[in-house]
Amino acid sequence: MGRAPDRAARTTRSRIAEGLPWASALARAGLAAVFAWAGLAKVGDLALSRLTVRSYQLLPEELADLIGNVLPFVELALALLLLVGLGTRVAACLAGLLLVTFIIGVSSLWIRGIEGACGCFGTSLLSDGNPASYPLILARDLAFLILAAFVALVPKSRWSVDSMLDRPVPEENL
Amino acid sequence: MTTPKTGRDAPASSKAARRANRKQELAARKQAEAAAAAKARRRRKLLTWSGVAAAMVLAVVLGVVVGSNSSDSADDAALDTSVAAGFPESTRTDGGVVMVADDAQNPVRVELYVDLLCPACREYEARVADTLERLVIDGRVELVVHPIAILDGLSTTEYSSRAAAAVACAADEGLFWQYQKVLYAEQPAEGSDGLSDQRLVELGTQVGLPAAFQECVDSATEAAWVEQVTDTARQAGISSTPTVLVDGGQITGGTAGDLEAAVEAAE
């Protein structure tokens, strides 16, 4: 009696199991694109990147400058790892960690009422006249964070170096 | 569970023995597979972690090396407070400080909204000063600076307002641009006490401002002008600095090239 729905449930489950690696690959690519974009936008003007980190007024100047210098390259490195799918889970966790710090930083700007550019995807030295929309920035970061969490939870994905490494090693190579 | 004794009662147990053998083989194969899988897992772990670690270390090293080679323009300019020869004297109007060559014909109006405490304003000035001075000297640009005070909350002594009033005093003596440069060179950090009035006067003396400048700073008469310029800017929707208008239109590119291109387009 209960067999038919059972089988249906099983096929649904297996279908989800089959789809997950594809979904993970898609999420990975999306996250990689976000970080590549963010990194590329900043990497050409590190002086501005340093100024932006300083403008959050959360860190001593030397530390802010260090982060301003390093952050664009870290974003690019994470984008690369996510793109090729190497160390996917670790990379996604690091990406999530970065996003959490971004969310804390932007929230603190909002709470303290500092009108500044978030510098998320790079900025010009000049203001564009539009006041920063903090709720929008936070919502966007939160969406990226969810994406990162999904990749971290489902790191097995198609088209990834990880999945190639997962294949058992042939005997003679052992 | 039970080990079949193959020696006794051969025909009955041979089937069992074969079954046992197969079981053993299966177990051995399983074990080998498990070992291979474990080895693969170890290899994968090693490769992924070293891949991630290498990428991160490379990123940090690149950041530190490239970053230390790209010092702020403002840092380089900290020592260079000189102004190009032939740069016109400043005059003050109700809305700002004007610098334009005497023989300029239909110059393009470039307006800068700055707060003297704003680090990006200092950086912008350092990036465009040479270009801007050349454009003004060549009579192609009429430069109008609006020193506004929107960051008074970021110093304990309302430095933004005091510094803006001081540059207004300097503007009356014709040396706005020169004085602004030394104020940027000594720009205090956000959240600090800012420069004292006494230091503001000292720096003015350095660029050759006369005694009238000190009287002007001491009397604090220009506070009202700063307030008016700030209010006018706010009403025009200018809420952050630096804001740059070329021929009335806001530009967003932050390099000297962007500025020159905008001026060329407006000519």
Q: Is the same domain home to B123 and B249?
A: yes
Q: Which of B70, B76, B114, B123 to mutate to test the interface with A (most CBs of A within 10 A)?
A: B70
Name the DSSP class of B144.
E
Which DSSP category does A44 fall into?
A: T
Domain membership flag for residue B3: no
pTM for the complete prediction? 0.80
Beta strands in chain A (DSSP E): none
Q: Evaluate whether residue B145 is within a structural domain.
A: yes
* Same domain flag for B84 and B165: yes
What is the number of structural domains in chain B?
2
Condensed to tens digits (0 to 9), the pLDDT of residues B34-45 reads 998 888 888 888
Which of B246, B229, B215, B221 is CA-nearest to residue B93? B229
3-state class of A62 per DSSP?
helix
Please check whether residues B157 and B39 belong to one and the same domain. Answer: no
Co-location of B157 and B93 in the same domain: yes
Binary contact (B64, A50; C-beta < 8 A): no
> Given B51, B66, B81, which residue is the final one in a domain?
B66
B50 is a domain residue:
yes
* CB neighbour list of residue A170: distance below 8 Å, 6 or more residues apart: none
Q: For chain B, what is the radius of gyration of the CA atoms?
A: 36
Interface of B with A in 55-114 (CB under 8 A): 55-56, 58-60, 62-64, 66-68, 70-74
pLDDT higher than 60, residue B12? no
> Are both B169 and B57 inside the same structural domain?
no
What are the pLDDT digits (tens) for B99-122? 999 999 999 999 999 999 988 899
Which structural domain range is residue B237 located in?
71-266
In a domain, B218, yes or no: yes
DSSP H helical segments within chain B, as ranges? 10-69, 73-77, 119-137, 159-172, 176-185, 197-206, 211-219, 223-235, 256-266
**Same domain? B87 vs B217:** yes
Residue B210, phi then psi, degrees to nearest 5: -80, 180
Domain boundary among B20, B50, B66: B66
Q: What is the mean pLDDT of chain B?
A: 89
Q: Which chain B residues contact residue A167 at CB under 8 A?
A: 40
- The CA distance from B246 to A105, in Å, is 33
- Give A-chain residues touching B58 at CB under 8 angstroms: 73, 77
Do B254 and B225 have their domain in common? yes
- Least confident stretch, A35-44, B34-43, B136-145: B34-43
- Chain A residues within an 8 Å CB radius of B191: 57
Q: Does B1 map to a domain?
A: no
User: What pLDDT, in 10s, does the model give residues A92-137?
Assistant: 999 999 999 999 999 998 998 877 777 788 777 887 666 678 899 9
Indicate yes or no: CB of B67 within 8 angstroms of CB of A124. no
Instruction: Mark which of B66, B89, B115 sits at the end of a domain.
Output: B66
CA dist B217 and B163 (Å) reads 9
**Domain shared by B30 and B117, yes or no:** no
Chain B residues inside the 8 Å CB shell of A47: 70-74, 123
Q: Is residue B240 domain-shared with residue B109, that is, in the same domain?
A: yes
